[in-house]
Amino acid sequence: MGENQTMVTQVILLGFLVGRRIQMLLFGLFSLFYILTLLGNGVILGLICLDSRLHTPMYFFLSHLAIVDIAYACSTVPQMLVNLLNPAKPISFTGCLTQTFLFMSFAHTECLLLVVMSYDRYVAICHPLRYSVIMSWRVCTILAVTSWACGSLLALVHVVLILRLPFCGPHEINHFFCEILSVLKLACADTWLNKAVIFAASVFILVGPPCLVLVSYSRILLAILRIQAGEGRRKAFSTCSSHLCVVGLFFGNAIVMYMAPKSRHPEEQQKVLFLFYSFFNPMLNPLIYSLRNAEVKGALRRALCNGCHSHLGQRVNLQPQ
């Protein structure tokens, strides 16, 4: 290491390299998306907690997905909004690695949760008589805890491998958050082991889970086609198509980012793809599940009606006798 090199203690996230007016426009647009993401997932989470009809394994896992989506947005978006207002403001290297760990933890956890949700739908449609036995609350809790634990452990492996590297510059990351491949560019040592582990983890988390989902849904499709009742077939298709939309959006973007040839996707295009994880996926998931799910819409109507009745009751009680 040369004498003119200094260890990296702070980094600057370059974000989106556009003019000041465009930055202000993006700040307003991304702030709106951020609020919609928190509101949408918060409403889904609140409905599942408050409505006893949604206290089923399917909505138990959906509540965890909503928590992951909220956490996704909170781990990347606030820093990005700060950078749009003050592009030259640095963040500590420790804070940068913390953001890397959180983002990867939530990404891995969502991968595993989507697989668990597909298994839940498989059991519900292909083995309806044994559903309550197979998907007991004990099993659901174990599956959810395992998803969170495995997601965090995989992210911890990446961060530990990063900590063994010396970082001596540059001090700028051409991204809007501390994405792991961008962080590795700051290292002044060979990062082949890190990249090999990232590729192996990508194969494990981005090839295995989608294959399991496809196997589950191929069997689900065969079971749905054997359903005689039109209403039952329609309900099964509605629930499964919602989940497949979420799976397609999530895994499609991830495979393009981490497994496609990098020469075809410059850094600016990579930033746009990562916006799907920070904004569009977390924002669209509640819409997909609520707009295509009669039970969620019914729970929302009941919550609104109860709110209206409670408000009217308070007004009547406040009127003078």
pLDDT of residue 157 exceeding 70: yes
CA distance 26 to 34: 12
Return the SS3 of 11.
Answer: strand
Beta strand segments in 134-205, E: 172-173
Lowest mean pLDDT across 28-37, 206-215, 230-239? 230-239
Q: What domains appear along the chain, each with residue ranges and CATH number?
A: 10-296 (1.20.1070.10)
CA distance 5 to 303: 60
| pLDDT one-digit tens code per residue, 13-43 | 888 877 888 889 989 999 999 999 999 999 8
pLDDT band at 236 (very low <50, low <70, confident <90, very high): low
Q: Are strands 172-173 and 91-92 parallel, antiparallel or unpaired?
A: unpaired
Q: For position 147, what pLDDT does the model report? A: 95
Q: Are strands 91-92 and 10-13 parallel, antiparallel or unpaired?
A: antiparallel
pLDDT of residue 229 exceeding 70: no
pLDDT band at 316 (very low <50, low <70, confident <90, very high): very low
Return the SS3 of 86.
Answer: coil
CA distance 149 to 105: 9
Rg (CA), the chain: 23
| pLDDT one-digit tens code per residue, 168-179 | 867 888 888 888
Length of the chain: 321
Query: Between 140 and 215, where is the model more confident?
Result: 140
Q: What does the mean pLDDT of the chain come to?
A: 82
Angle formed by the axes of helices 281-291 and 294-318, nearest 10°:
90
Q: For position 2, what pLDDT does the model report? A: 42
